[in-house]
Amino acid sequence: MQTPYYLIDRSKLAANMAKMDYLREASGAKCLLALKCFATWPVFGTMRGHMDGTTSSSLYELKLGREKFGKETHAYSVAWADHEIDEAITYADKIIFNSAGQLERFDEKTADIKRGLRLNPGFSTSGFDLADPSRRFSRLGEWDVNTLNHYADRISGVMIHYNCENDDFEKFSQQLERIEGEFGSFLAKLEWVSLGGGIHFTGEGYPLDKLAARLKEFSERFDVQVYLEPGEAAITGTASLEVTVLDLLENEKKLAIVDSSVEAHMLDLLIYRESATLESEGDHEYMICGKSCLAGDVFGERSFKEPLKIGDRLSIGDAAGYTLVKKNWFNGVKMPSIVIRELDGSLTLCREFGYDEFESSHG
């Protein structure tokens, strides 16, 4: 197939879903796919039987979750607009408000649906200020326990999102203990508590048994249904960005230009100043560069066993989470197709993007 394309592997996705099943069964927690991280619905069929529904960050994500995934839908938004709320409640099983002000504003319209508030515990595991939901002046959620108690009779639960690619179970448990200590009397008034996403429980060697026991303990202590909102954990290690070398240059370092763009196709690498996941072995070093005009459009530096040649194919890993949802038309660089590697190893082209999509996105 012509590159560039995102390649999603159903067998790797199924392996993550097996861990999802184990955690759900052992803990009693329900797992909702976080569409803000991954919304590529052609593979929802592989996930639907192993997850309990979806959680969203906007009206469009909410509608996609209802139509393409089904099952339970949680509707969250940092701020709902007047023209969105009537439609949102037709798709949602639960609607979660970011602030008490939004709950007050839409109190009457949402009185017949289960409602929640976002609880900001005042800390997180994020190592990046840009992504830290508890950063100074954060707008994400209510943090005052008196405010939360005031609205306890109008809501049935809360969403607490404070983990970010956290693969440290002990840190997770310690922070949950802090939440129990600071907000326990309030949590005991609720029917459900979502602990959000960012728990890297499908990672290699993660102690699933300990996590399951801790979630069950929390659920029983406060008599609540626990929800998790895995995004990255659902699809970690399942996709790559397949590219081709278009040109080779040398400017103090050997440079290889590929038919893709970090700015357009793996934006998080630039945002968080990280290098792409790419095998590196051998003595031939290259800087792998994107084809856009952005000077810093660089995937990273890697070594290869043999010198690269024009036409060589490269496979860049970790291309599922926060990647397909952020792809864009910068420079008019052809957007990668979406391809699925089926369980039998065959490839299915699900979607190809051409000039018509480029044109329609600009007017």
**Structure tokens, 37:** 């991280």
DSSP 336: P
Look at residues 87, 100, 195, 82 and name the one whose alpha carbon lies nearest to residue 153: 100
pLDDT of residue 127: 84
pLDDT of residue 251: 97
CB 96 within 8 A of CB 156: no
Q: Report strand pairing: 94-97 vs 114-118.
A: parallel
CB 229 within 8 A of CB 53: no
Report the distance separating Cα 88 and Cα 101, nearest Å: 18
Report the distance separating Cα 248 and Cα 41, nearest Å: 36
Class of domain 10-234: alpha beta
CATH architecture of the domain 239-319+327-360 equals Beta Barrel (2.40)
Q: Provide the β-strand partners of residue 304.
A: 284
pLDDT of residue 279: 86
Q: Hey, where are the domains in the chain?
A: 10-234, 239-319+327-360
168 among annotated binding-site residues:
no
Q: Provide the β-strand partners of residue 167.
A: none
Handedness of CA 259, 5, 270, 311 (dihedral sign): negative
Q: What is the pLDDT of residues 201-223, one digit of tens each?
A: 999 999 999 999 999 999 999 99
pLDDT (tens place) for every residue of the chain, 363 residues total: 999 999 999 999 999 999 999 999 999 999 999 999 999 999 999 999 999 999 999 999 999 999 999 999 999 999 999 999 999 999 999 999 999 999 999 999 999 999 999 999 999 998 889 989 999 999 999 999 999 999 999 999 999 999 998 999 999 999 999 999 999 999 999 999 999 999 999 999 999 999 999 999 999 999 999 999 999 999 999 999 999 999 999 999 999 999 999 999 999 999 999 999 998 899 999 999 999 999 999 999 999 999 999 999 999 999 999 999 999 999 999 999 999 999 999 999 999 999 999 999 999
pLDDT of residue 208: 97
pLDDT of residue 215: 98
Q: What is the pLDDT of residues 77-106, one digit of tens each?
A: 999 999 999 999 999 999 999 999 999 999
Per-residue CA distances from 325 to 140, 229, 298, 339 (Å):
21, 17, 20, 15
Q: How far is CA 200 from the centre of its chain?
A: 11
Report the distance separating Cα 196 and Cα 207, nearest Å: 18
For the chain, the distance separating the N- and C-terminal CA atoms, rounded to the nearest angstrom, is 30
232 among annotated binding-site residues:
yes
Amino acid at 7: L
Q: How far is CA 2 from the centre of its chain?
A: 27
Look at residues 173, 187, 260, 266 and name the one whose alpha carbon lies nearest to residue 226: 187
Q: What is the pLDDT of residues 31-47, one digit of tens each?
A: 999 999 999 999 999 99
